[in-house]
Structure 1
Amino acid sequence: MPPVVTVRGGGAGRAVLWAAVGAVVASAAWAAGVFLTGGKDGGADLRGYATPASMCSGADYSSFTGEYPEKDSAPTHTSLKERALEESYCSLGLKKTGSSYADAYLSMQLDLHKSTDPAPEFTATWKNYASSHTGYDTDPVEGVGDEAYLISQDTVTGSSGGSRYATLAVRDGWVTYLMTYSLYLTSYGTDKDPPTLTEVTGWLKTDAKATLKRLRD
């Protein structure tokens, strides 16, 4: 709370009052500027990250290639460069040896939020994901960015069917990164059991760390 200024004079007293009021207003404006822009220099906190022209070649997903060595010949990738947002996205099919069609799917998306701090909405969305989406689990992940959450769902039961899904959502400053894996057992084939959820989440963590390091070097 600003100090109370008592004035008992004429023009000189009023000058003191307006100087005090001006200082309070200036201080409040400066604090608001820091809160809204993330720093007194007025810049977004992008931590040195840059969006690649193609996320399919810019991201690291090498942990998955042991299980899925066949490359997707036609992955989907998009990019966006606007004043408020830069985005790079990739979606590809993961194939086991000899597979003609995708056995699982992987997507990666990097966003550079250049106008607004994504932290409040990021936390609200991912920390509470399990509360608003039935059947999913949410776990905080340490050691990746400023905050990260692992969202997962596993309905695979034996060889009868089901699906396996996991997303690692990371925020580092004003930069967000999502990496998502999914498979449906009915299209996986019966020659080999799919990787466990523990294996998949380990790969996501390893490759997300490697990708974020690569994109800010």
Structure 2
Amino acid sequence: MTTPPPPVPNGPGYGFPQQPGGGGFGPPPGLPTAPAPGPGRSGNLRRNAVWAFVGAVTVSVGWAAAVMAVPGLVSSDSSPRDLRGYHLSDDFCATGKPTRLLQTYSVSDTSKPTHHTDRHPALDSMNCSMSLKRTGGTGDGESATLYMRADLHKAVNPAPELAANKELYRARGYQVTDIAGLGEEAYFLYKDDGSDQYHSVYAELDIRDGGMTYYVTYSAGYTEGKGKPPTKEELRTALQSDGQDTVRAMRK
């Protein structure tokens, strides 16, 4: 007859609590007691433990190989995306020069363009702001403001935020047009908002490609009968052309 092993002390996190009435350690009443190992069982248990360990290692190695081969197995909507060769420049006004829009406007000679570049382990960013005036124009509605920004998201996936931004603008009455062929996704926003005879025009192009996001905004005001900014289609064409040139330049 095999003598059962002595009871294991009831240390923190292990075993069952001591039973009332001085019954010692053990499972609560009604729960089965694990049988003591008989002759030869300890060897089988050791062999089973070894094979369980080998199996766990094999599964882990297989999972690691699968993740390396198919990263999407563990990626999520918040996982960072590849930057696809996009990089910063020290002068985004030069990198993102709005060549097409400058066929209609010129840079104001009274307000020089401003630009700034920031580098951070989680997010790199660069922007440019410039004041424009209609070429040959002198009256109301002949000036505009252009703002450009590009971000390299290294810690998160910017796609959900870009999608949310589009829906928020749509809810506020902006006209939204999806544009194919620019990065993974792109859209154009437009609104001509007026009160009486005075109008404010806003146009924006947003592009996302992997972890890179870029947007350019145009804003101007005019009074009916005293000049008018370019039409919606003219602005879409100009911003789309300039945006395409800018994201291309960011990869050179």
TM-score by length of 1: 0.78
Larger RCO, structure (CA 8 Å, separation 6 or more): 1
Say what the alpha-carbon RMSD is for the aligned residues.
3.2
Supply the distance in 2 between the matched residues of 1:22 and 1:129 (Cα, whole angstroms). Answer: 48
Are 2:132 and 1:94 aligned?
yes
Supply the distance in 2 between the matched residues of 1:121 and 1:23 (Cα, whole angstroms). Answer: 39
Are 2:200 and 1:163 aligned?
yes
Q: How many residues align?
A: 201
**C-alpha deviation, 1:44, in angstroms:** 5.4
Supply the distance in 1 between the matched residues of 2:60 and 2:225 (Cα, whole angstroms). Answer: 67
Match of 1:6 in 2: none
1:130 aligned residue (163, 169, 189) = 169
Alignment of 1:1-217 (within 5 A): 10-24=45-59, 27=63, 30=67, 35=75, 45-72=82-109, 73-96=111-134, 97=136, 99=138, 103-126=143-166, 128-131=167-170, 133-155=171-193, 160-186=197-223, 190=226, 192-217=227-252
Q: What letter is aligned with 2:213?
A: T
Supply the distance in 2 between the matched residues of 1:151 and 1:85 (Cα, whole angstroms). Answer: 25
Structure 2 spans left out of the alignment, 5+ residues? 1-43
User: Is the 2:201–2:221 contact (alpha carbons within 8 Å) kept by the matching residues of 1?
Assistant: yes
User: Is the 1:129–1:138 contact (alpha carbons within 8 Å) kept by the matching residues of 2?
Assistant: no
Larger Rg belongs to: 2
Q: What letter is aligned with 1:53?
A: D
**C-alpha deviation, 1:214, in angstroms:** 1.0
Structure 1 spans left out of the alignment, 5+ residues? 1-8
User: What are the Cα deviations for residues 66-108 of structure 1, in whole angstroms up to 9, with x where unaligned?
Assistant: 2213445412222111111111101111102355997111110
Q: Which runs of 4+ in 1 moved over 3 A?
A: 18-26, 28-34, 36-39, 70-73, 98-102
Percent of aligned pairs with the same amino acid: 32
Supply the distance in 1 between the matched residues of 2:138 and 2:185 (Cα, whole angstroms). Answer: 37
